[in-house]
């Protein structure tokens, strides 16, 4: 798809909800400019399989949290800590719970705990950065997914109009997929 986008000379935007919500987007931009991040810890926990959720789809049952909420966690970590050099992953805990450890090119490390089988009272998303500047946490957004999707559509139109690629373009989506594939290979007994 990345090659097709490049060959056609068209704009692309991959929808990562958090990246198109005002408060988190501003925080990500700010933290990406702060030097000296040491580590990050992310929890993306859903109660999809432990509650009466309309999101308990066959796809989510087959692919689990790694592929459902993992992309969203990576969409926040990568612009702040940089690309990933190495991936480690293990499936410890109930249901589809996965733990992913990332070694970022800039020297920082991060851990992700991902699950769609969390108890409803424990569900939610959080990300914390620690480094020379101290400790900071990803703010919650006052907007939901629909306004974020509208902003993503506006971003696609702006990219098409200006010719400037959006940070969440198809190439970024490919990199997120490559990292998740490496983790998935490890979770399913392969080596990467």
- Three-state SS across 36-102? CEEEEEEEEECCCCCCCCCCCCHHHHHHHHHHHCHHHHHHHHHHHHCCEEEEEEECCCCCCCEEEEE
Range of the domain at 28: 2-186
Instruction: Note whether residue 142 is domain-resident.
Output: yes
Q: 181 is written with which tokens?
A: 């594939």
Instruction: Note whether residue 46 is domain-resident.
Output: yes
Instruction: Note whether residue 108 is domain-resident.
Output: yes
Percent of the chain whose pLDDT exceeds 90 = 87
Q: What is the pLDDT of residues 45-98, one digit of tens each?
A: 999 988 888 888 888 888 999 999 999 999 999 999 999 999 999 999 999 999
Instruction: Note whether residue 192 is domain-resident.
Output: no
Percent of the chain whose pLDDT exceeds 70 = 98
Instruction: Note whether residue 191 is domain-resident.
Output: no
Instruction: Note whether residue 52 is domain-resident.
Output: yes
Please report, for the domain that includes residue 87, its CATH number: 3.30.360.10
Instruction: Note whether residue 106 is domain-resident.
Output: yes
Instruction: Note whether residue 109 is domain-resident.
Output: yes
Cα separations (Å) of 75 from 8, 144, 173? 25, 17, 9
Mean pLDDT of 123-134: 97
Total number of domains in the chain: 1
d(CA 114, CA 107): 23
Q: What would you measure as the largest C-alpha separation in the chain, in angstroms?
A: 47
């Amino acid at each position: 798809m990345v090659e097709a986008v490049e060959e056609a000379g068209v704009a692309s935007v991959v929808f990562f909800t958090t990246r198109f919500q005002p408060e988190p987007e501003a925080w990500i931009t700010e933290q990406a400019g702060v030097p000296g991040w040491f580590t990050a810890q992310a929890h993306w926990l859903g109660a999809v399989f432990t509650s009466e959720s309309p999101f308990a789809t066959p796809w989510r049952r087959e692919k689990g949290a790694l592929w459902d909420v993992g992309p969203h966690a990576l969409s926040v970590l990568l612009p702040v800590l940089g690309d990933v050099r190495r991936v480690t992953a293990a499936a410890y805990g109930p249901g589809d719970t996965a733990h992913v450890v990332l070694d970022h090119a800039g020297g920082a490390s991060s851990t992700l705990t991902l699950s769609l089988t969390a108890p409803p009272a424990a569900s939610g998303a959080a990300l914390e950065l620690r480094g020379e500047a101290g400790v900071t946490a990803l703010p919650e957004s006052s907007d939901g997914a629909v306004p974020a999707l509208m902003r993503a559509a506006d971003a696609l139109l702006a990219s098409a109009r200006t010719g400037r690629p959006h940070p969440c373009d198809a190439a970024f989506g490919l990199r997120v997929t490559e990292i998740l594939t490496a983790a998935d290979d490890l979770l399913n007994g392969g080596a990467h």
